[in-house]
Structures are given as C-alpha cells and as structure tokens.
C-alpha cells in the first residue's frame, strides 16, 4: 500500500526553531496577528514574516492557502511556509491548510509550528491525504518524501492513531481504484482483502461453486465471459455487542468492457475504476479495524470482470437472481446492478442488518446530473439518507438526494421476465438503475444506494487528492458509523 507521510507530534519548543532544518510552517489569521510561534520566526528572520503578512499577496490568499519565504535570514531552514488560517478554523479550512503544506513540502522535512491552532487533527489529515502519490508502476526511483513534525500546545486529547486510521483507509481505497486490471484481478483483489484478517477483521472469500449453490445467477452471468473467477468477499468487524450489524455493499467490477454490448474504445482504459464501490467498502472496513471501532459492521463486495467472449452473457438472455426474480439482460453494460442485486439479497438474508448502504460506479447518467461534485443518494429511508448526507457534508464529501418512485418502475418492466436490467433509453438512467436495486431490498431494511461514478476517480484531482482515485466516501461512512452505530 502507498505509505503515509511520517508524522510526529510534540510540544512547542521555540528555543529549537533557529536550528531547524528543512522547512518551517507557521499559521497567521486574516487579521495579520502573529502567535508566539510566528513571532519567534518573525524575530529570527528580521521581520520577514511581518512584511509578507502586510503584503497584497497575503491579503489575496484564501483561507487554507500558503506562501513561501525562501531562504530567510536568521534561521537554518531552507524556507518558511506561511499559511493563512484562523486560530479556530473550520474543518474544511484546516484540511485545506494541511493540503497546502503537502504541496509545499516536497522532499524536505517540515516542522509545523502549530502553536494553539485548533483542528490540528484536520490539518494533519489534510496533509496526509494530499501527500498521496500512486507510483507503483513507475520504474523511476520514487521521489523522496520528507517527514513532518508537528509542534503544538494543544495535544491533550489529540489521537494521532485516528488520523492515520482514516488516511490509511482512504489510501487503501485509492490504491485499489488506481490499480490496472491486469494487476488487480478478481483473485488479487480478494487476496488483498483477505490480508486484512491481520487487523482483526473476519474475512471469507466465496468462490464460484458456492455462489452457484446460493443461486447468484445475476452476479455470475456478468463474469461468465472472463477467465477470471467471480467472487464475493465478506468482511466482518465485530467491535460492538450482540446487535445486528450495519452493512456496506460494494460493486467490484475490476474491468468493464461492457461485455457483448461493448463500450467505445475511447476512454475504456478508465474502466479499471469500475470496482470503486467495493474499494470504498474495503477502505472503510480497514479504517474501522485500525481504529478499533465499537460497532458491528459487515462489508460485502461482489468481485467480477465483464468481458466479451464465446461464453459471455448475451443481450436478451434471461438469468435468475438469488432472490428468485427472473431478469432479462437487455444490455450487458448495465452489469453493476446485476452484481449488486445478488449481493444485496445475500447480505440481508444472512446478516439481517440494521441498515444497509451500497456503493457503485453505476451510471454515467449521474455524472450528467451532478458532475464530479456530488454522488447521487437514493434511499427508502429519510432517516438513513439524511444521516449519511449530514456525515458527508461534515467531511466535505459531496452527496445529493435523488428521487425514487414507483412511477419509474414501468421503465424496467419486461414482457418476457420479471424485469429487465435497464430502462432502455437515456431518460432517468440513474433513477431506473436505483429502482432496479430497490427490488432487491426488503421493506424492513433501511437502505441507501450511492452512485459514485462521478466522484470515485477524477482526472483533474480534488483539493485533497491528486488526479485519479479520490477515496470519496471512506470518511463520510466512517463518520456515519461513529455517529450512529458505535456503542
């Protein structure tokens, strides 16, 4: 896994500032007032900090942004990073400040003179998340990455393990989603999840023979054209009492050609990210295990590869789901919902969860509707969807409620079977996909479907992630579980 930047934490030692090597970082609010750490650096640098803070360049900075003083006199450090941040910042501003530090750091070690700045954990998390660099398949020697030492007067109650647990979960999701499909095969994916047993998770890998016995005809039809075996992986974290678990379900299509309904060649290489929903579930389970969450949570992912071959499912074929419903496959590129239908039913039958959320890079239509700023949230429960959207907002992960309605059901009704796997046209594509999934959710199960096609991987990157996989959803789901389901 991509390693986190090394971060250490200690009390403020102003006497050591003059001799610090690498880079020094300080925080200054919009009013320009310097705290004790900034005053110390200002004195040593012959008021260079004071002059920078009085400049138009600093006045024009948005909160969480930074400027650099290169090779200031009076200190050993190669530079001083001045970050515009209030003493009591918002979570978003604190994380942006950390991200700004990550972009300035480069190969040099950095000492962050945090003083009495609030939200230190969010500054550290923002720095860790933005420092991510997926270079597993580059032959050049990886660039050196400096360590970060935080000096703070507000370490009481600060838990660095919580910061690293969240960051490692996000990194795990990003690594999985960034991997090419010839590396992250269905078997490799399952093996990586099985390795998390070392963290205290109980992990089971269900192979094709068992899936056939369970009657997962919808899931199995998706992978039947591939030489890679289809699998379902069950991850259990039992950190609570005897209560039923909360369930997370993920679509894990390691590569999606579209099958016989093959996709256009342009951009098909991006379909390595079509297992993004399973990636998020895996990252959340890792975070829960690392921070020893006091909750019972089960993560279940369906892992398949959608390939065209002489054995591939055809448009017009009828398959039988684990629930027993007959599905006409009118488009083999609408495969994610077939995978999820069986995994959702299996999860409910086996675990009787108190609530269930599934994640999937399910439809291009959600990108047309919401762009790359928000995931689509579909739910049969105002309570669960509201709680998730609140958690997502608190973590800065965009999510927007979309409609479900029986009026859309007629679009997936079928002449020869119980339903067909797509509405057939472009109208309401994300909604009809959600309506399909809703047919495999029991009335008593609070459920939400998150369509993350627009947020799982972004070519231009985000404020806290470079281009590629974002890890969206790990922080929001971790917060949801912490707020609602921990003992």
Beta carbons of 329 and 338 less than 8 angstroms apart = yes
Which tens digit of pLDDT belongs to each residue from 138-187? 998 888 889 999 999 999 889 999 999 999 999 999 999 999 999 999 99
Which tens digit of pLDDT belongs to each residue from 239-287? 999 999 999 999 999 999 999 999 999 999 999 999 999 999 999 999 9
Beta carbons of 203 and 233 less than 8 angstroms apart = yes
CATH of residue 242's domain is: 3.40.630.10
Within this chain, do residues 305 and 382 fall inside the same structural domain, yes or no?
yes
Residue 239, domain member (yes or no): yes
Residue 83, domain member (yes or no): yes
Which among 33, 24, 13, 7 is positioned nearest to 126, based on CA atoms?
A: 7
The confidence score (pLDDT) of residue 424 equals 75
Q: What is the mean pLDDT of residues 397-406?
A: 97
Q: For 321-428, where are the alpha helices, taking DSSP H only?
A: 336-351, 365-370, 382-394
Which tens digit of pLDDT belongs to each residue from 290-307? 999 999 999 999 999 999
Count structural domains, the chain: 2
Residue 327, domain member (yes or no): yes
Residue 230, domain member (yes or no): yes
The half-sphere exposure of 143 on its side-chain side, counting CA atoms within 13 A, is 12
Which among 230, 219, 220 is positioned nearest to 187, based on CA atoms?
A: 230
Q: What is the mean pLDDT of residues 457-473?
A: 96
Domain boundary among 154, 188, 221: 154
Which tens digit of pLDDT belongs to each residue from 338-356? 999 999 999 999 999 999 9
Distance CA 246, CA 243 (A): 9
Within this chain, do residues 274 and 375 fall inside the same structural domain, yes or no?
yes
Within this chain, do residues 142 and 224 fall inside the same structural domain, yes or no?
no
Distance CA 122, CA 401 (A): 27
Domain boundary among 117, 134, 154: 154
Within this chain, do residues 89 and 184 fall inside the same structural domain, yes or no?
no
Q: Which domain does 373 fall in, by range? A: 164-484
Distance CA 484, CA 178 (A): 31
Within this chain, do residues 142 and 214 fall inside the same structural domain, yes or no?
no
User: What's the mean per-residue pLDDT of the chain?
Assistant: 97
Beta carbons of 222 and 253 less than 8 angstroms apart = yes
Q: What is the mean pLDDT of residues 360-383?
A: 98
Residue 2, domain member (yes or no): no
Within this chain, do residues 334 and 468 fall inside the same structural domain, yes or no?
yes
> How far apart, in Å, are the Cα atoms of 315 and each of 109, 420, 434, 479?
57, 10, 20, 41
Distance CA 215, CA 217 (A): 6
The confidence score (pLDDT) of residue 286 equals 98
Within this chain, do residues 146 and 199 fall inside the same structural domain, yes or no?
no
Catalogue the active-site residues: 263, 337
Domain boundary among 131, 154, 177: 154
- Sequence-separated (6 or more) residues with CB below 8 Å from residue 228: 185, 186, 187, 254, 304, 305
Within this chain, do residues 83 and 182 fall inside the same structural domain, yes or no?
no
Residue 159, domain member (yes or no): no
Within this chain, do residues 180 and 289 fall inside the same structural domain, yes or no?
yes
Within this chain, do residues 126 and 201 fall inside the same structural domain, yes or no?
no
Beta carbons of 432 and 362 less than 8 angstroms apart = no
Beta carbons of 293 and 237 less than 8 angstroms apart = yes
Distance CA 399, CA 35 (A): 37
Which tens digit of pLDDT belongs to each residue from 18-61? 999 999 999 999 999 999 999 999 999 999 999 999 999 999 99
- DSSP assignment of 174-217, as one string? HHHHHS-TTTS-HHHHHHHHHGGGGGT-EEEEE-HHHHHHHT-H
Percentage above 70 pLDDT, the chain: 100
The confidence score (pLDDT) of residue 157 equals 85
Residue 487 has pLDDT above 80, yes or no: no
Which tens digit of pLDDT belongs to each residue from 417-444? 999 999 978 899 999 999 999 999 999 9
Residue 202, domain member (yes or no): yes
CATH of residue 21's domain is: 3.40.220.10
Q: What is the DSSP letter of 453?
A: T
Within this chain, do residues 138 and 192 fall inside the same structural domain, yes or no?
no
Residue 1, domain member (yes or no): no
Going across the sheet that includes 447-451, the strands are 202-206, 231-238, 296-306, 246-256, 355-360, 447-451, 375-379, 399-401
Within this chain, do residues 205 and 105 fall inside the same structural domain, yes or no?
no
Beta carbons of 360 and 366 less than 8 angstroms apart = no
Residue 15 has pLDDT above 90, yes or no: yes
Beta carbons of 76 and 18 less than 8 angstroms apart = yes
Which among 466, 403, 461 is positioned nearest to 435, based on CA atoms?
A: 403
């Amino acid at each position: 896994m991509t390693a986190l930047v090394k971060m250490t934490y200690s009390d403020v030692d102003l006497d050591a500032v003059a001799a610090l090597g690498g880079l020094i970082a300080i925080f200054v609010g919009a009013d320009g007032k310097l705290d004790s750490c900034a005053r110390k650096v200002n004195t040593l640098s012959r008021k260079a900090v004071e002059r920078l803070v009085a400049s138009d360049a600093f006045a024009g900075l948005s909160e969480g942004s930074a400027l650099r003083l290169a090779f200031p006199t009076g200190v050993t450090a190669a530079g001083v990073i001045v970050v515009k941040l209030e003493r009591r910042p918002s979570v978003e501003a604190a994380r942006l400040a950390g991200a700004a530090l990550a972009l300035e750091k480069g190969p040099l070690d950095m000492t962050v003179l945090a003083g009495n700045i609030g939200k230190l954990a969010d500054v550290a998390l923002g720095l860790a998340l933005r420092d991510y660099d997926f270079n597993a398949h580059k032959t050049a020697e990886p660039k050196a990455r400096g360590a970060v030492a935080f000096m703070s007067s507000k370490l009481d109650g600060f838990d660095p393990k919580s910061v690293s647990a969240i960051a490692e979960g996000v990194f795990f999701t990003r690594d999985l989603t960034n991997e090419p499909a010839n590396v992250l095969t269905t078997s490799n994916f399952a093996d990586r999840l099985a390795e998390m047993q070392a963290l205290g998770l109980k992990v089971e890998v269900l192979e094709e023979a068992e899936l056939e016995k369970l009657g997962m005809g919808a899931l199995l039809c998706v992978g039947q054209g591939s030489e890679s075996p289809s699998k379902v992986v069950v991850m259990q974290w039992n950190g609570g009492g005897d209560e039923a678990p909360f369930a997370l379900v993920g679509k894990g299509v390691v590569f999606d050609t579209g099958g016989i309904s093959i996709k256009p060649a342009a951009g098909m290489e991006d379909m390595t990210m079509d297992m993004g929903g399973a990636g998020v579930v895996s990252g959340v389970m890792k975070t829960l295990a690392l921070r020893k969450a006091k909750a019972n949570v089960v993560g279940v992912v369906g892992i398949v590869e959608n390939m065209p071959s002489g054995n591939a499912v055809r448009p017009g074929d009828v398959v039988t789901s684990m629930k027993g419903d007959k599905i006409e496959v009118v488009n083999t590129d609408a495969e994610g919902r077939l995978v999820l239908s069986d995994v959702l039913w299996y999860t409910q039958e086996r675990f009787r969860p108190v609530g269930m959320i599934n994640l999937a890079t399910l439809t291009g239509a959600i990108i047309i509707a919401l762009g790359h700023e928000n995931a689509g949230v579909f739910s049969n429960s105002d309570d669960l969807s509201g709680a998730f959207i609140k958690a997502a907002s608190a973590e800065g992960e965009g999510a927007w409620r979309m409609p479900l309605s029986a009026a859309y059901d007629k679009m997936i009704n079928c002449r020869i079977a119980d339903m067909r796997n797509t509405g057939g046209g472009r109208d309401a594509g994300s909604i009809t996909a959600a309506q399909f999934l809703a047919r495999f959710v029991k009335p008593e199960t609070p459920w939400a479907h998150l369509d993350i096609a627009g947020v799982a991987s972004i070519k231009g990157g985000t404020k806290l992630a470079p281009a590629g996989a974002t890890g969206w959803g790990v922080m929001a789901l971790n917060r949801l579980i912490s707020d609602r389901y921990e003992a």
